[in-house]
Chains A and B, each alone.
Chain A
Amino acid sequence: MSTFKLLCRAWLLGLTSGLTVTGSLADNSNFNVEPAALGQPMNADEIASLPQHVFADGAGLPPGQGTAQAGEVLYTEHCASCHGSQGQGGRAVELVGDRELLATEFPDRGIAVYWPYAPTLFEYVYRSMPPDKPASWQADELYSIIAHVLVLNALIEPETVVNAQLLSTIVMPNVDGFRTVGR
């Protein structure tokens, strides 16, 4: 029989025959320890290599810029198959909706209709779209795609240059369309 099994036996016998534990519990300061402090400090480079979140007010948007003209090409190639050439009627959720229809029986969502903040587009499309190759855009490309999507949503003029400054200052039509419940 292995030592382990023998030990288990002895332990069981101890229990069943009513043997008491020897030694004093209070003595054993090894069990009164501070929680482990095992987090590894991160240096500045490591922190910089984490994904940069883009906040609703535009904080975190990278340098760079783009226009709808360049964006339309990218959109047609990488987005239209699911979201429709004009942001409607595709297999996936519509990017363009009808603004008048939010408080109706069949609300028509879309970016201009529902999204409260424009910078969130950068955060989301970078991290998630297109589904077969997310997190692959260069900043200029993504600003261009967003420019095109904003033009489709009639939120900017076709020639507008889209960059961090512009995305941070666009006031989305539905910015006041939310009630914040929990915090």
Chain B
Amino acid sequence: MRRPYASVLSPVGQLNKQHAEPVGPAGLIGRRRFLQGGGALLAGSAMAGHAVAQEPASWSRPGLAFSNYGQPADDQITAIRWISENPAVPGDGVSWTPLHELEGTITPNGLHFERHHNGVPQLDASQWSVAIHGLTDRALRFDLEALHRYPMQSRIGFLECGGNSNTLWHPHPVQAAAGHLHGLVSGCEWTGVPLSVLLDEAGLDPDAQWVIADGLDASGVTVSLPIAKCLDDVLVALYQNGEALRPENGYPVRLFVPGWEGIVNIKWLRSLQLSAKPLWSKFDTVSYTDLHADGIAERMTFEMGVKSVITSPSPGQRWSSSGVYEVRGLAWSGAGTVQRVDVSADGGSNWAQAILQEPVLDKALTRFRIPWQWDGSAQTLLSRAVDSAGQVQPSRAALLEAKGGNAYHHYNATVSWQVAESGVITHVYL
């Protein structure tokens, strides 16, 4: 279902002159001054509250009843996933996390992005089990009851489709909200049993170099994962943000492979076959491979690159007046933690360092924020992330130079939003 996403934002408030003085380039304001200014504003509005003559209507009658499973507020109609299906096969497509509607770093379960190749299978959890076989000392089957008795681990991490942001390979900037361009990434707390524990129990043959993992979906998605990663940090995940996995996220059990492209995080896990060689499935070779300008394609491009995107403001919104706004966004890297995010308000000539919201976690969405004094003139905002491995998010030109225009996957270049004099936000290329 598509809904209009345009909305009008008001500035968080006009700061008095002393506080609003920019310390960063092009109106980007030092964090302390912004907070001081905001504090004064809050105090002012609390006082104003006492002057209200009438009591709020919600005091005059009891509220609604308890609910077994809470739902978003009725007016939250735009905080939904946008869906794009293949007309020939409706179960083949994606739905995007509305990043521009969300704050913080954890994606609500009902808004986690989806990429299915042939629909969401309906599985009977009581009948489910996963087989571990192939080059192992023993072939073993684990059902849900068994898995629940193993020591579990939780880990907050991002999950990003290798094809996220792929409309930005297009030669002209597509106009859509931040989440509809970049929302094939989500952040969750995943809980489950470390895959290494189960592999250890099965006993690995020294020749077991690959784990071939497949799902119970109607596309039988199958990938090959190197053993080192499987023994390192892969989770056999049962919970997502504290509750059982959602059907569209692999219920009852999926793999969570920190920092690696979505396709290898096999949902609806069926079997794990230990092998001396990769399978080179269609998903290892034909799909999710990145064709470069020289006609050579990269495969097993597992690790997601360092990336950031401003989620507020977002294309489709309009700022009603000049003044102070907080520019907010998300940054992440499959190589480690986000070390810093710089923001430019003048199309990349000058940069100021954004505040990173704590905690900054390994291979997890990281929220960045920076206040900006918008003077009402046309300006271009963009963010650039640097990760703990020293990787710097490339410009679009640098990415195209390195990969050509047909890689289709792993688009991680800096993203620019233009704020017009009218306050309208649009997507631009620099």
Would you call A53 and B222 a contact (CB within 8 A)? yes
**B52 interface contact, C-beta 8 A:** no
Would you call B302 and A182 a contact (CB within 8 A)? yes
Q: What residues on A are CB-neighbors of B275 within 8 Å? A: 55
Assuming the A-B contacts A38-B142, A40-B141, A183-B300, are A131 and B279 also in contact, with contact meaning beta carbons closer than 8 angstroms in the complex?
no
A-contact bits for B287-321, CB 8 A (1 contact / 0 none):
00101011111111111000000000000000000
Q: Flag the segment in B70-78, B196-204, B243-251 that touches A.
A: B196-204
A-contact bits for B64-99, CB 8 A (1 contact / 0 none):
000000000000000000000011110110000000
Q: What residues on B are CB-neighbors of A92 within 8 Å? A: 86, 88-89
C-alpha gap A158/B406 in the complex (Å): 33
Q: Flag the segment in B23-31, B105-113, B144-152, B153-161 that touches A.
A: B144-152
Which residue, of B219, B286, B289, B293, has the highest number of chain A Cβ atoms within 10 A? B286
- Tell me the residues in window 67-88 of chain A with beta carbons closer than 8 Å to chain B beta carbons: 82
Would you call A179 and B298 a contact (CB within 8 A)? yes
B-contact bits for A108-134, CB 8 A (1 contact / 0 none):
000000111100100110011001001
Other-chain contact of B285, A41, A134, A178 (Cβ < 8 Å): A178
Assuming the A-B contacts A35-B197, A120-B286, A183-B300, are A55 and B142 also in contact, with contact meaning beta carbons closer than 8 angstroms in the complex?
no
Would you call B295 and A177 a contact (CB within 8 A)? yes
Q: What residues on A are CB-neighbors of B220 within 8 Å? A: 51, 127-128, 134-135
Would you call A42 and B280 a contact (CB within 8 A)? no
Q: What residues on A are CB-neighbors of B201 within 8 Å? A: 35, 37, 39
Chain A contributes a number of interface residues (CB within 8 A of B) equal to: 44
Which residue, of B138, B143, B151, B282, has the highest number of chain A Cβ atoms within 10 A? B282
Would you call B282 and A123 a contact (CB within 8 A)? yes
Would you call B297 and A178 a contact (CB within 8 A)? yes
- Tell me the residues in window 19-56 of chain A with beta carbons closer than 8 Å to chain B beta carbons: 35-42, 46-47, 50-51, 53, 55-56
Other-chain contact of A42, B91, B117, B139, B289 (Cβ < 8 Å): B139
A-contact bits for B95-137, CB 8 A (1 contact / 0 none):
0000000000000000000000110000000000101110000
The 6 closest A-B pairs by CB, nearest first: A103-B295, A39-B140, A127-B220, A56-B280, A38-B146, A182-B302
